Amino acid sequence: MKRKGFGFSLPVTAVILVIGFIYFSTVFTFIDRWLSLASSPGIANAAAFTALALMCVYNYSIAVFRDPGRVPPNYMPDVEDPKSPVHEIKRKDHHCIWINNCVGHTNYKVFFVFVVYAMTACVYSLVLLVGSLTVEPQDEDQDMGSYLRTIYVISGLVLVPLSIALGVLLGWHIYLSLQNKTTIEYHEGVRAMWLAEKGGQVYKHPYDIGAYENLTLILGPNILSWLCPTSKHIGSGLRFRTAFDSAPISSGTKP
């Protein structure tokens, strides 16, 4: 479902400009100088990087424009349902300024997949940047040399910290996904664990049903579609499997 009320966002504009800069500098500077766009290796790497860039842009666009999902205002869980031992209504979402949207039930997977492709593209671009520096410049005038130095300096200043930041972000979300937690649930869990230990009990996250099963709830049951922007598997967001369920009843990630 497409979200409503989207307006101009400076962070989103910055992300789009960075993606564009990295793409053009990688393909038309790093690949061309190192491998040549007229050679088979150059064409192959340009095609591979273009595919990465397109997947980045596509998943990013969905994360920005898709409504993250929300609890219906009149929804009330059936507290007498014996098949539902855990009852929670989570009305909070995690707002991300870089997509000018909340990361919630319906767009979490595409956000996660975007981060995977973005980090891969940044590392790939860095490898191509370093490789192109091993090539001796030929017949470059002073203006072209100055232009290229500017491209390399800006690219390095962008790619190195961005690769580190995306790597940390991806690692964090892999950790959360393996435990089937949202960022908010992680912080709630820290307090719940403290309270449980204080009372002499052991706290277990109720939605943690095993690392692989957790991943299939978020990324889908078909491993071949994990890096594709599919979302038919996520369910309504009103009912989720828990560690207390005896059999699978639904699928999805929590808003």
56 catalytic per annotation: no
Rounded to whole angstroms, the Cα distance separating 113 from 149 reads 33
Which one of the listed residues 96, 102, 122, 228 is annotated catalytic? 96
Closest listed residue to residue 128, CA positions, set 213, 33, 207: 33
Contact yes or no for 237/105 (Cβ under 8 A): yes
190-219 exposure pattern, b = at least 16 Cβ within 10 A, e = fewer: eeeeeeeeeeeeeeebbbbbeeeebbbbbb
3-state secondary structure of 167: helix
How far does Cα 186 stand from its chain's mean position? Answer: 17
Instruction: Give, for 55, the enclosing helix (H) or strand (E).
Output: helix 40-65
* Cβ-defined contacts of 201-205 (< 8 Å, 24+): 204/243, 205/179, 205/180, 205/181, 205/243
Q: What is the DSSP letter of 66?
A: B
Rounded to whole angstroms, the Cα distance separating 166 from 120 reads 9
Q: In sequence order, what are the residues at sequence separation of 6 or more whose Cβ sits closer than 8 angstroms to the Cβ of residue 123?
A: 163
Q: Which two tokens stand for residue 200?
A: 């002499």
HSE-up (13 A, CA, CB side) for residue 249:
15
Rounded to whole angstroms, the Cα distance separating 135 from 121 reads 22
Catalytic residues: 96
